Amino acid sequence: MKPIRSIGIILDGNRRWAKARGLPSFEGHRQGYETLKKLSDEFPRLKKTYGLEFITLYAFSTENWQRSADEVEFLMQIFGRAFQEMLETLSKKVPEEKQVRFIVAGQKERFSPALQKLIRDVEEKTKDFTAGTVCLGLSYGGRAEITQAVSSLMKDGAEATEEEIGKRLWTAGIPDPDLIIRTSGEMRLSNFLPWQGVYSELFFTDTFWPDFSVSELEKIFAEFQERNRRHGA
């Protein structure tokens, strides 16, 4: 079985899930958060079974700031709640197999000071955890990521090599994803990991993110095993 060390997931379809049920879009985001927690709980097993060590989740894009003020505010509340819950969990003894490192990739400076502090606290408290890494793309955009990496390169006067640019990406240290999944039926990457995903296997499912399950993820893993990855060879 080919190991699946790193994956990326575009969490899409929360609003359409809610609309299909006659619910406000906020409920879709709320249920999407519950789905995310279920996936995080299964991380240790997925690592043991498939070798999975890194999950990068596209939760809020640089373009998502253009949504209504009410929706953006609700999403910020969900993010704040998520990091607060993490800190509460970390205040207790976490079993070694569940000691997952959390990092955020994106324009952290665009968030409120309170949310920035929560993010820093979670990143600091989990920085030495070795059970796996969850990277949350928050105010993330691939073009913005590459732009800031090139700006850093120019500022340092470094040579423009793939290695030097890679070291300056928000996702530095995370292996390129073996596969990228997008839920909800849309068949595009929408500015997600354009540098890192050049050789990723792509999977698109019609399932809205709130209905996405670990069992469906494992079906995708099974299909991945049938693909022949040549990396241009």
Catalytic residue ranges: 12, 64
Question: Three-state SS for 105?
Answer: strand
Closest alpha carbon to 220 in 190, 178, 187: 178
Closest alpha carbon to 6 in 46, 58, 53: 53
The distance in angstroms from the start CA to the end CA of the chain is 21
Q: Are 98 and 44 in contact (CB under 8 A)?
A: yes
- Which token pair is 9? 């997931």
Residue type at position 186 = E
Rounded-to-integer distance, Cα 105 and Cα 57, Å: 10
Q: What radius of gyration, in Å, describes the C-alpha atoms of the chain?
A: 18
Farthest-apart Cα atoms in the chain, separation: 55
